[in-house]
């Protein structure tokens, strides 16, 4: 029931009402117009035919106007043959036709003028846009040339500065190299002088050592002589005295000679060393001066060469700059000339395209006029046939009027109208529900009869449906010819009858523990349903408060469809509960079977154990009897028991 109540909310009912109104609006309008009267319907149909004829002749041209005078006699003859009731209508149609023809001429001229103005405006707008584009292109090219010149000047200045910096670095490197060479040369000369000085000093030291060795050697000889003299003196005073004097004289002479020779050698060595040193210093000074002059000359030549090359590079760069600027200026001039030529060609092409478009438009207009003229002839040729169709339509309308009269009689009869609602309910429920899910013309426990009782499962409960409502006042409300006072009075009467039907259904069709919490009041007409929701909204809200839901044929179909879904859901739930109960019983039986199987397995194990013990005891008894018979000498054949399996062969046989 909660699902159905959620479905039957006022918002959903309003949406359903709008959808149903859209579907049945045309049908209801036709039925209402038929109820109003045949004359009104015929007038509407005639107006529709006139509108269709006017739409067919909206494309006529000047030739139709010229042909009208020639065809007036024929049209008058046709009008004389027609009935008096149609003469005025046809004359009016012809006059309107002529008026529309003149109007069509004016519209054609106006459209042609507008087309011409539009084309001229398009041409002028395109010309202005094209001129603006050309000006923009010129500005862009001029800016590009200026930017290129600025970039080229900047690049030249940067290159000149970079080359000047590189030349400065090269000159500094050359100067540093020259300074380094001079320094190395001076250091080498200093080292050479130091080496010579060391050589002279070493020679002098060697000479001094040699002199000293000679002196030491001389001193050693004198000592030996003195020793020999002393020894000679001690051996013989006389011999020693003479030898000592000779030896001393000889030693002194030799010592003087050695000293003289040493001094002369030292002086010679010192002179040679001084001479060599003086010559070396002169040579070194000359070579150093020559190297300095050579380096100075090379440095001056390198600086002059670098300056010349730098000047040549600057001149070459200036020449390239001048050549590039001239080339750029020439290219810009050529581009501007090409753009001017392209502009001229574009303007010429645009003019040709515009002329061609004008020619095409003129050809299309002429072709359309010719087609309109042919359509006009065809329309007039079919006009007589349409008039015949109008006569046939009048006959059909007369027959339809008779049918509408019969329908009005049925609707005026309250019993017949009630039967119509019952038939509608019966058709809907039979097409949607099973026979056991509803009851037609059911009687409730309080004696109140309803047209249908939907048997929904608990907790929803059965829903009563009634269609007892008088719609005679609604006919006056919907009649377009009714006066405002009559419409107001009929609307109030319809509201009173609707309120009475709601109260009656709420009081008698809602019974606790027997029916659902609400009941359905079927309005067998979509117009009645719309009237209730639009002009009697308070009654609709009051009905919802009293648990009485208003329904139209379309919404009743939706409600019955929802009821079918609820019934199917309840049936499925009952089947599921039944299956659950059966599954629970099967589960209990399965548990019981498992317990019995477990008990049977335990009993089988016990029996197997008992059989094994019995077999073992019987075997031991048989063996015991064999031993006894062997003792007494008359042992019979041993009783053979059946083999108990591989497990029994491993048992030990122990006598009791």
With cut-offs at 50, 70 and 90, classify the pLDDT of residue 180. low
CA distances from 427 to 241, 420, 559 (A): 189, 11, 14
For residue 307, the surrounding DSSP H or E stretch is helix 237-412
Residue 457 DSSP symbol: P
Model confidence at 416: pLDDT above 50: no
Average pLDDT rounded to a whole number, residues 334-341? 64
Residue (of 479, 364, 338) closest to 35 by Cα position: 479
CA distances from 237 to 225, 278, 313 (A): 15, 60, 109
In a domain, 585, yes or no: no
Rounded Cα distance between 523 and 504, Å, is 15
Tokens standing for 164?
């000047």
Give the pLDDT score at 567.
Answer: 84
DSSP bridge partners of 454: 438, 463
CB 465 within 8 A of CB 454: yes
Give the pLDDT score at 601.
Answer: 79
In a domain, 655, yes or no: no
Model confidence at 449: pLDDT above 60: yes
482 or 119, which is more confident?
482
Give the pLDDT score at 200.
Answer: 47
In a domain, 47, yes or no: no
- Output phi, psi for 470, to 5 deg: -85, 125
In a domain, 634, yes or no: no
Give the pLDDT score at 491.
Answer: 86
Tokens standing for 159?
């290159």
Give the pLDDT score at 276.
Answer: 58
Neighbour count for residue 426 (Cβ, 10 Å): 15
Give the pLDDT score at 225.
Answer: 46
Give the pLDDT score at 24.
Answer: 55
pLDDT tens digits for 197-245?
565 456 546 655 664 565 455 445 544 544 554 454 455 445 544 554 5
In a domain, 237, yes or no: yes
In a domain, 27, yes or no: no
Pairing of strands 519-522, 438-443: unpaired
Q: Based on the structure, what is the number of domains in the chain? A: 1
Rounded Cα distance between 319 and 313, Å, is 10
With cut-offs at 50, 70 and 90, classify the pLDDT of residue 29. low
Residue 447 DSSP symbol: S
pLDDT tens digits for 349-404?
666 666 676 567 667 656 766 676 666 667 656 665 666 666 676 666 666 555 54
232 or 567, which is more confident?
567
Domain that holds residue 172: 107-379
Rounded Cα distance between 461 and 513, Å, is 8
Which range is most confident: 326-335, 355-364, 583-592? 583-592
pTM comes to 0.32
- Output phi, psi for 70, to 5 deg: -70, -30
Rounded Cα distance between 460 and 519, Å, is 12
CA distances from 397 to 30, 51, 90, 618 (A): 12, 18, 19, 119
Rounded Cα distance between 550 and 561, Å, is 16
Average pLDDT rounded to a whole number, residues 66-95? 55
In a domain, 92, yes or no: no
SS3 of residue 465 by DSSP: strand
Give the pLDDT score at 443.
Answer: 86
Which range is most confident: 143-147, 278-282, 290-294, 514-518? 514-518
In a domain, 242, yes or no: yes
With cut-offs at 50, 70 and 90, classify the pLDDT of residue 410. very low
Averaged pLDDT score across all residues of the chain: 66
CB 328 within 8 A of CB 145: yes
Model confidence at 306: pLDDT above 50: yes
């Amino acid at each position: 029931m909660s699902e159905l109540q959620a479905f039957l909310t006022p918002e959903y009912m309003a949406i359903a009402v709008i959808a149903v109104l859209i579907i049945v609006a045309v049908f209801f309008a036709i039925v209402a117009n038929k109820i109003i009267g045949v004359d009104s319907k015929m007038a509407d149909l005639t107006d529709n035919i006139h509108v269709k004829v006017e739409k067919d002749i909206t494309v006529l041209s000047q030739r139709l106007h010229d042909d009208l005078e020639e065809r007036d006699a024929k049209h008058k003859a046709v009008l004389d043959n027609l009935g008096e009731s149609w003469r005025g209508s046809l004359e009016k149609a012809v006059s309107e036709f002529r008026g529309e023809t003149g109007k069509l001429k004016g519209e054609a001229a106006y459209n042609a003028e507008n087309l011409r103005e539009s084309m001229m405006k398009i041409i002028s707008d395109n010309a202005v846009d094209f001129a603006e584009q050309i000006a923009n292109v010129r500005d862009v090219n001029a800016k590009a040339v200026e930017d290129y010149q600025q970039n080229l000047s900047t690049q030249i200045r940067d290159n000149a500065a970079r080359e000047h910096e590189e030349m400065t670095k090269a000159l500094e490197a050359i100067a540093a190299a020259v300074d380094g060479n001079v320094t190395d040369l001076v250091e080498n000369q200093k080292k050479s002088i130091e080496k010579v000085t060391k050589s002279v000093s070493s020679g002098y030291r060697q000479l001094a050592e040699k002199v000293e060795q000679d002196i030491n050697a001389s001193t050693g000889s004198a000592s030996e002589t003195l020793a020999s003299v002393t020894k000679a003196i001690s051996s013989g005073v006389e011999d020693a005295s003479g030898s000592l004097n000779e030896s001393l004289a000889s030693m002194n002479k030799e010592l003087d000679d050695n000293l003289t020779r040493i001094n002369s050698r030292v002086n010679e060595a010192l002179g040679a060393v001084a001479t060599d040193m003086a010559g070396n210093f002169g040579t070194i000074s000359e070579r150093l001066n020559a190297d300095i002059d050579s380096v100075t000359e090379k440095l001056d030549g390198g600086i002059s060469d670098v300056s010349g090359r730098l000047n040549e590079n600057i001149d070459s760069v200036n020449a390239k700059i001048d050549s590039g600027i001239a080339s750029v200026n020439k290219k810009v001039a050529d581009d501007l000339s090409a753009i001017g030529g392209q502009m001229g060609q574009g303007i010429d092409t645009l003019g040709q395209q515009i002329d061609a478009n004008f020619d095409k438009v003129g050809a299309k207009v002429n072709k359309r006029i010719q087609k309109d003229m042919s359509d006009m002839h065809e329309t007039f040729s079919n006009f007589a046939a349409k008039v015949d169709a109008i006569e046939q339509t009048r006959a059909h309308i007369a027959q339809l009027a008779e049918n509408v009269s019969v329908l009005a009689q049925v609707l005026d009869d309250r019993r017949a109208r009630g039967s119509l609602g019952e038939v509608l309910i019966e058709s809907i429920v039979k097409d949607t529900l099973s026979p056991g899910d509803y009851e037609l013309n059911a009687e409730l426990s309080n004696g109140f009869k309803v047209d249908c009782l939907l048997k929904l499962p608990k907790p929803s409960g059965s829903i009563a449906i009634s269609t007892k409502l008088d719609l005679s006042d609604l006919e006056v409300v919907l009649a377009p010819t009714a006066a405002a006072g009559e419409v107001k009075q009929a609307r109030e009467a319809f509201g009173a009858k609707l309120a009475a039907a709601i109260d009656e259904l709420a009081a008698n069709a809602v019974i606790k523990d027997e029916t659902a919490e609400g009941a359905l009041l079927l309005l067998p007409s979509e117009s009645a349903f719309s009237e209730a929701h639009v002009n009697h909204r308070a009654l609709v809200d009051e009905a919802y408060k009293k648990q009485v839901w208003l329904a139209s044929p379309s919404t009743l179909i939706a409600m019955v469809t929802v009821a079918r879904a609820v019934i199917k859901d309840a049936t499925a739930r009952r089947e599921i509960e039944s299956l659950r109960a059966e599954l629970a019983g099967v589960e209990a039986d399965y548990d019981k079977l498992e317990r019995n199987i477990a008990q049977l397995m335990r009993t089988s194990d016990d029996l197997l154990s008992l059989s094994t013990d019995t077999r073992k005891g019987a075997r031991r008894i048989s063996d015991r009897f064999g031993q006894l018979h062997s003792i007494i000498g008359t042992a019979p054949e041993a009783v053979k028991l059946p083999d108990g399996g591989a497990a029994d062969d491993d048992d030990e046989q122990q006598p009791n």
